[in-house]
Structure 1
């Protein structure tokens, strides 16, 4: 058995108890109390029990206390082995991830961990396990998330100008309204819901390959949806066609959901059934058209993504009525979550001055 170790004498038992009472670290406090008990002449076994430890652990803390004083009684957790990538290499890897893969060179359209595992090995000569690549990406500030839609023919300058000038455009469109009239910002879009459905990610045991039904039939319906993010409200219709008649039904439905005494500004894309002069726009509504090829300006695009990921994908619809029922149920589920509508739909450029 190892011999007893003499405790340093420059701290008295009252000194250690005073430090324990002032310490904000519970572990340091209980170790100080154990050492104070030792200085009072208590047996090592009884002193160890005061700090919730055994005699050998108390012996280890005596060593640390003798070397570093009370500061030696703090926990010093290991940070693990040093990273095999230098800071410069990590910065280069971050640029690679942000730039995305070259489909011709890399053979993929989005980075997977296994692809980046290969890139790290080829560029830096360091071989990581695929799971560690994921941890490394999180440390570099990356997260696995859904992307917003981007039209390949988009003019970025036009989109930026629309956001910057939106307050001016809004004022021009509603200048005829009485001063102080409450204004609601709404966004509108349509989505096809049908038998040829999508498959989305799901949790499954590692090493398995889960299967989901994938229907090859083509019967479908259209879900017309509009949201007012500031109010957490929405208005939707499930219809058989996307045309002028269907759009008229939808804007009339939106009009009924506008708060009494308020005026709705409806932002929508330039589909033919949106821009036709045959539409009769309700008196409590003004239409503002988004720039062409700019789907990311319309948060309803993200609403469709949310509905598909949660309620519409990985399913088979046997009949047209089943499609309508599923579309209506998904939309109603969203309407029951006003905070989700606000979270998905709020855009700083469109809601300046609105809560």
Structure 2
């Protein structure tokens, strides 16, 4: 027969402890509360411990914790774990390496692998880590293995940041006199080629398999001319057989019809030749704003094309040119008839003007 444990706290009765146990989600704390409640009822230590699934010594230890700290003392206290092998300063340097990427000449690789970072850490910090630990550091700092998007070698990221930062002043400098004082709408414009040499996309499949999908190798195609105004959730598009100044003029006329009455549109375009051709007739309701060279990242229409290719235009074989036209029209209307989708994909904070 075990001895009786002395509970020195008087602020909670056995009834109070059982009431607290009903509100507690942690089963381990519930058992400890009920065991101490039995002790308060006068039950001996062995019986109270056995009925709550613990030994006498364990119950004694929890009783001491309860006497000192109350119910809060009955929760487990997980240790902080082993001290990180890399200091905060070293981890910051590790993050900088990953974000900058390797130097192909110096590091001998074009992308970081965990084993490469393991060697770099050992060389720079004289700390030998397991490859799995390198993976844990990558996960801890928010890194994932992601597909990269192509970037033109002449891309000027500083020019892109300047364009976004000074967009409002650029608009004021570009705006013609007849448009000043009118409500302004920001539109984005681009073209996408769609044809028999189509695109593939990701699909659900069993791990370890390589799913197949049809892909044509013929050469018929057409072009979707698309433009969107994120603020109004509206879009204007045409499907045309070619890209040149004449086709661009047709698209500008279509966009002008979609501009709100009494408003003026700022149409953001890239540097394609037909966007600035001398023969191009730009409607009075539209002012063209050129993006910095090689800056597809700044044009959300690129995201529209990626969305449509992934969901409507991929994994498709077109037997005739008419099928291409029909599929392009269906895909564009799927996008253009959904204002929420238009705004969600094309809205950019830096391009908002008042």
Which TM-score band applies after superposition, normalised by the shorter structure? 0.7 to 0.9
Gaps of 5+ in 2: 123-127
Provide the secondary structure at the position in 2 that maps to 1:168: helix
- Residue pair 2:2, 2:45 contacting (<8 A) in 1 also: no
Per the alignment, residue 9 of structure 1 pairs with 7
Q: CA deviation at 1:306?
A: 2.3
Q: What secondary structure is seen at the aligned counterpart in 1 of 2:192?
A: strand
Question: How far off is 1:98 after superposition?
Answer: 0.8
Q: In the superposition, relative to structure 1, how do residues 4 and 128 fare at CA in structure 2: closer, same or farther (>3 Å)? A: farther
Output the TM-score relative to the length of structure 2.
0.78
Distance change >3 Å, CA 290–CA 120, structure 1 → 2: closer
Per the alignment, in what secondary structure is the counterpart of residue 250 of structure 1? helix
Shift of 1:172: 2.9
Which of 131, 153, 167 does residue 128 from structure 1 map onto?
131
Matched, 1:270 2:260: no
Q: What is the CA-CA distance between 1:241 and the residue it aligns to?
A: 0.8
CA deviation profile, 1:138-176 (whole Å, cap 9, x unmatched): 320224556566432134443333333321221233352
Moved more, 79-88 or 165-174: 79-88
CA contact (8 A) 1:264 1:286 kept: yes
- Residue in 2 aligned with 1:236? 237
Query: TM-score, length-normalised on structure 1?
Result: 0.78
Closer, same or farther: CA 90–164 of 1 in aligned 2, 3 Å: closer
8 A contact 2:32–2:52 mirrored in 1: no
| Within-5 A mapping of 1:210-221 | 210-221=211-222
Q: Is the Cα–Cα contact under 8 Å of residues 13 and 36 in structure 1 kept in the other structure?
A: no
Check if 1:294 corresponds to 2:291: no
Query: Is contact 1:195–1:316 with CA below 8 Å preserved after alignment?
Result: yes
Q: Larger Cα Rg: Structure 1 or Structure 2?
A: 2
In structure 2, the residue corresponding to 1:94 is in which secondary structure? Answer: helix
Deviation at 1:285, TM superposition (A): 1.6
Q: Is 1:158 aligned with 2:155?
A: no
Q: 1:178: Cα distance to partner?
A: 6.2
Is the contact between residue 245 and residue 275 of structure 2 (CA under 8 Å) also seen in structure 1?
Answer: yes
Are the structure 2 counterparts of residues 153 and 108 from structure 1 closer, same or farther at C-alpha, using a change threshold of 3 Å?
Answer: same
Maintained 8 Å contact 2:160/2:292: yes
- Name the CA shift for 1:99/1:278 in 2 (closer, same or farther; >3 Å): same
Question: More displaced, 15-24 or 335-344?
Answer: 15-24
| Residues 121-270 of structure 1 mapped to structure 2, 5 A cutoff | 121-123=118-120, 124=122, 125-129=128-132, 136-145=137-146, 150-177=151-178, 180-270=181-271
CA contact (8 A) 1:199 1:214 kept: yes
1:228 shift after superposition: 0.9
Q: Does 1:55 align with 2:52?
A: yes
Cα deviation for residue 221 of structure 1 reads 1.4
On the 8 A contact 2:179/2:264 being kept in 1, the answer is no
1:91 to partner: Cα distance? 3.0
Q: Mean Cα displacement is larger for which, 116-125 or 74-83?
A: 74-83
Equivalent pair of 2:5/2:45 in contact (CA under 8 Å) = no
Q: Are the counterparts in 2 of residues 117 and 127 from structure 1 also a CA contact under 8 Å? A: no
Distance 1:135 1:292, change over 3 A: same
> Aligned residue pairs: how many?
341
- On the 8 A contact 1:31/1:73 being kept in 2, the answer is no
Q: Given the superposition, is the C-alpha separation of residues 215 and 185 from structure 1 closer, same or farther in structure 2, using an over 3 Å criterion?
A: same
Q: Is the 8 A contact 2:226 2:236 kept in 1?
A: yes
